[in-house]
Amino acid sequence: MKPIDLFSIHTCSNRHQAQSEALKGPKWKPPTSSFISRVAASLDSLLFSFFLLRLPPSLIVPSSSPFSSTCSDPPTSSPGTQVGKMADQCALRVMRELRQFAQSDDLAIDISYKEDNTRELKALIIGPPDTPYAQGFYQFLIRIPPEYPEKPPIVTLQTTNNGRTRFGPNLYASGKVCLSILGTWPGESNEQWSPVLGLETVLRSIQSLLAAKPYNLEPGFENKDDKDNSELYNAKIHHENIRLTVLVPLEKAFEIKIPQLNMRLGQGSHRGANPYQLDSGVPEAPFHPFLDTYKRRFLWYLESYKMAIQRGLDNKKARARRSFPLMPFECADNIMGGYWDYEDMKKRLGSLEMRIMKETNEWPDQGKDKDQKGHPLAASLRAQCQQITRQLTQRTEGMVLLELVNDNPFLWRLIYHGRPMTQYDGGVLKIKIFISPNHPAEQPRVILETPLYHVRVSPQNVLIYLPLRADEMSRHVDGIISSLEEDRPPVNPLMTVNPEASALCWGSKEEQRQYSRKLRRSVAATLE
């Protein structure tokens, strides 16, 4: 996909171009400038009025408002008209940027909003690999002021442990995000907000704060050679990244009781407060916009979480129940306080794995009830399966089959016969597609019945794939097949579901040969 140009604020109309082409001809004479001005003004007014009809009400200035204006309003310098023009500009800009985000295939950033209020957005940023924030889930609330893009958006971090945990020098426990382009931190003139910047720039800048060495992001510590403190700071962020951004939100979603630990006073204490308590402070944001994303990514990154916890258990400086050390710049109520407790986190991770798999296995039964009651979703899924089955039979000459398991439209089985002269030659893969009764709000979960050593298959046999459209099951089936047939998929750390296989697949020539041998052995085992 081509890079998204969020900086361009110029738009064009195909309708204008078509009308210009229609005017061309050997006998055509250029119209007068006044005629062109009248036509352009009429077209602009008509197009803008049509655009406003498609906008959510929250972005339209009511006609009864003293600040309302239209493209055909006569020029005026009254404050009301200027505010109306700003609101129009804000509406156009936000809608255009949201459309561009919808077309993006970036796995690190997601945006959610209600259609009746696109001035209040929620963003999810996945912690970058090779940082203490790796595969963590960080939510932000973005409020768009009416003066946008003349003024920057207002951004608040909502992953704060109820206002108790500071996740970095620039990410305060209060939710404040210190960033010069947001106007929350002083900077050079070339680091300030400009109308040419946009939401993508803001989110990329925030993403850069989830750095490999956050200790050096503190002002005055940029060039400080303090290896011990830097490593300790990374270690406690690594701990809380898994506990607070992965475990706690999912435990809340499943209504699992969260452990309450008694915090001793002393180093790392929060003035006697318990950072593990979640019953006071700044309230966390409603979790639901990204709930399905959290669950799916949990299954993707489960092996990475297990490895991260094991590294914590092996770290002698992170002995169980010892308080986190305070950094020189942590003070008052803006700290990351807590205990090391990887043993407890290991148990909680295992409990969540079982709970999500239990939910997945419950979907077919819940869907069967809908099917018996004649629910439209059940009928639609059955019809889609029949159509896709016919298409696959024709397209693959019977090498790929699709069927309903126990005649249940919410549980599909894809049978993939390995093509000759490929890495799957002679093998037969059986893959279950679990479809939620809330589809497409919840996306299917795909699990192999026959274990496969593959860069896109987790050790728990969960297949990772990317459908071109989330609401069409045919796109999901295509995505599954494409993911399996990628011989050497491009390196993408955010799609690493099997760290060992990924290291071999993207490693040296010898490691790649080792990967191929392991893959072939697992394919041969499908016939046993």
Same domain, yes or no, for 252 and 103?
yes
Flag whether 247 is in a domain. Answer: yes
Residues paired with residue 245 on neighbouring β-strands, in sequence order: none
- In which band, very low, low, confident or very high, does the pLDDT at 309 lie, cut at 50, 70 and 90? very high
- Whether 295 has a pLDDT exceeding 80, the answer reads yes
- In which band, very low, low, confident or very high, does the pLDDT at 101 lie, cut at 50, 70 and 90? confident
- Whether 127 has a pLDDT exceeding 80, the answer reads yes
Considering the chain, what is the average pLDDT of its residues? 82
Between 31-45, 202-216, 315-329, 480-494, the lowest mean confidence (pLDDT) is in: 31-45
Residues paired with residue 404 on neighbouring β-strands, in sequence order: 412
So what's the pLDDT on residue 261? 53
Which whole-number Å values give the CA distances from 189 to 8, 180, 185, 186, 222, in the listed order?
A: 21, 9, 12, 9, 20
- How far apart CA 67 and CA 53 sit, in angstroms, is 18
Same domain, yes or no, for 421 and 521?
yes
Which pLDDT tens digit goes with each residue over 405-420? 999 999 999 999 999 9
Flag whether 244 is in a domain. Answer: yes
Average pLDDT rounded to a whole number, residues 86-115: 86
Q: Which of 300, 324, 354 lies at the terminal end of a domain, its last residue?
A: 354
**How many residues are listed for the chain in this entry?**
528
Flag whether 264 is in a domain. Answer: no
- How far apart CA 139 and CA 218 sit, in angstroms, is 22
Flag whether 165 is in a domain. Answer: yes
Same domain, yes or no, for 340 and 436?
no
Retrieve residue 34's tokens. Answer: 């006044």
Same domain, yes or no, for 316 and 423?
no
So what's the pLDDT on residue 45? 45
Q: Which of 320, 354, 388 lies at the terminal end of a domain, its last residue?
A: 354
Retrieve residue 177's tokens. Answer: 């995000």
Same domain, yes or no, for 294 and 181?
yes
Flag whether 368 is in a domain. Answer: no
Same domain, yes or no, for 388 and 313?
no
Q: Which of 326, 354, 382 lies at the terminal end of a domain, its last residue?
A: 354
So what's the pLDDT on residue 260? 63
- Whether 88 has a pLDDT exceeding 80, the answer reads no
So what's the pLDDT on residue 321? 82
Same domain, yes or no, for 507 and 429?
yes
Retrieve residue 503's tokens. Answer: 């290291």
Which whole-number Å values give the CA distances from 3 to 40, 101, 203, 353, in the listed order?
A: 31, 11, 15, 36
Average pLDDT rounded to a whole number, residues 296-306: 97
Which pLDDT tens digit goes with each residue over 139-157? 999 999 999 999 999 999 9
Same domain, yes or no, for 309 and 454?
no
- How far apart CA 527 and CA 520 sit, in angstroms, is 12
Q: Report the percentage of the chain scoring pLDDT > 70.
A: 78
Which pLDDT tens digit goes with each residue over 313-369? 998 888 888 999 999 999 887 899 999 999 999 999 999 999 999 999 999 999 999
So what's the pLDDT on residue 8? 33
Q: Report the percentage of the chain scoring pLDDT > 90.
A: 64
Q: What's the CATH number where 435 sits? A: 3.10.110.10
Flag whether 271 is in a domain. Answer: no
Same domain, yes or no, for 328 and 414?
no
Flag whether 396 is in a domain. Answer: yes
Same domain, yes or no, for 411 and 321?
no
How many structural domains does the chain have?
A: 2
Same domain, yes or no, for 199 and 320?
yes
Please indicate whether residue 419 or residue 64 has the higher confidence score (pLDDT).
Answer: 419
- How far apart CA 29 and CA 392 sit, in angstroms, is 57
φ/ψ (deg, to 5) at 81 = -65, -40
Average pLDDT rounded to a whole number, residues 221-238: 92
Same domain, yes or no, for 392 and 454?
yes
- In which band, very low, low, confident or very high, does the pLDDT at 520 lie, cut at 50, 70 and 90? very high
Q: Catalytic site residues?
A: 178
- How far apart CA 8 and CA 10 sit, in angstroms, is 6
Positions of E strands within 310-418: 400-405, 408-417
The boundaries of the domain holding residue 513 are 374-525
- How far apart CA 96 and CA 98 sit, in angstroms, is 5
So what's the pLDDT on residue 2? 37
So what's the pLDDT on residue 415? 97
Which of 152, 213, 218, 148 is CA-nearest to residue 180?
152
Flag whether 239 is in a domain. Answer: yes
Between 69-73, 440-444, 459-463, the lowest mean confidence (pLDDT) is in: 69-73
